[in-house]
Amino acid sequence: MNIKWEGVMPAVTTKFTNDDKLDLETFELNIEAQLDAGVHGIVLGGTLGEASTLLGHEKNALVEHTVNVVNGRVPIVMNIAEQSTRGAIEAAQKAEELGARGLMMLPPMRYKATDDETVQYYKEVANNSSLPIMVYNNPVDYKIEVTLDMFEELLKCDNIQAVKESTRDTTNVTRIKNRFGDRLKVLTGVDTVALESMLLGAEGWVAGLVCAFPKETVAIYELQKAGKIKEAIEINRWFLPLLELDINPQLVQNIKMVEVATGVGTENVRKPRLPLSGAERARVQKIIDEGLKSRPTLPDYKSLTAVV
């Protein structure tokens, strides 16, 4: 099984009802907005998807529902964020059984594994699943870095194919490409450096603010791919204050506020998270209001031809 690890892949938020159940109706509304904008895949159950608060049956329901809604239009990638190797293998196999076409994998959760332990963790999951895997490398938030030397060992597994590069160091894109070429696809995982990362050679963007602004996000990707860098930079400059909401401990609450403003979500989060309040809410609302007021008119980005 293969995935073209490229393009914009939204790390979608998980929608909840007022009584803390999955809100699949609003979730479907958002997924359709993503597909209409031209995204290239859907990532479920990531950090933004409140993975750590989801119960097993809820993760399964999300995969099943998304598979039905998407109906093969783009690949569905399920995030694996588990405490044990056994749990990660079981989660990977269940995602495959339910119709996911790829996995995004964090290192072991709640335990700062050594390099050897982390490599073994990834390899055992890879050897027990036929799904292609994107390693989620985010040492800023999760305290474990998957180094280039570790990737040298991991790439012995054919189905480990991509990295969600979230170190926030854009020079890592060049380091990865210098060492591994096309063997390891790079998808930038930090909204604020996404355009820069793609200009340096990243093939795609696992995006956050795309949840509320899918067309603007895909437009940036398509414009830079078509060599229309000036136009991509102009949209990115407008977008940056909003994109900075993604690099914040309250990114879930932030982005759900933006989804409400653009009509594709609700603010419901799962406790212990709470909706923003007070001065911080006012600060975020001001950013949203200013962004909506100056929202750019987009070119016909879907008809662009990529520069080879």
173-181 own/partner pairs: CB under 8 Å, 24+ apart: 173/197, 173/200, 173/201, 173/202, 174/200, 174/201, 175/148, 176/148, 176/151, 177/201, 179/148, 179/151, 179/152, 180/148, 180/151, 180/155
Across 53-60, average pLDDT: 95
Confidence at residue 109, expressed as pLDDT on a 0 to 100 scale: 87
pTM (2 d.p.): 0.96
Question: Which residues, 6 or more positions from 285, have their beta carbon under 8 angstroms from its beta carbon?
Answer: 257
Confidence at residue 308, expressed as pLDDT on a 0 to 100 scale: 75
Confidence at residue 156, expressed as pLDDT on a 0 to 100 scale: 98
Structural domains of the chain ordered from first start: 7-303 (3.20.20.70)
Across 240-256, average pLDDT: 97
* Structure tokens belonging to residue 218: 């895909």
The C-alpha atoms of residue 245 and residue 213 are separated, in whole angstroms, by 13
Yes or no: say if 13 and 49 are a contact pair by the CB < 8 Å rule: yes
The C-alpha atoms of residue 208 and residue 245 are separated, in whole angstroms, by 9
Share of the chain above pLDDT 70, in %: 100
The C-alpha atoms of residue 222 and residue 216 are separated, in whole angstroms, by 10
Average pLDDT score over the chain: 97
Segment 94-153, tens digit of pLDDT: 999 999 999 999 999 888 999 999 999 999 999 999 999 999 999 998 899 999 999 999
Going by pLDDT thresholds of 50, 70 and 90, the confidence category of residue 1 is low
Across 225-234, average pLDDT: 98
Q: Collapse the DSSP code of 172 into the 3-class scheme (helix H, G, I; strand E, B; otherwise coil) and give the result.
A: helix
Alpha carbon 9 to its chain centroid, in Å, reads 6
Dihedral sign from CA coordinates of 28, 29, 33, 34: negative
Across 162-173, average pLDDT: 97
Confidence at residue 141, expressed as pLDDT on a 0 to 100 scale: 87
Q: At residue 294, does pLDDT exceed 90?
A: yes
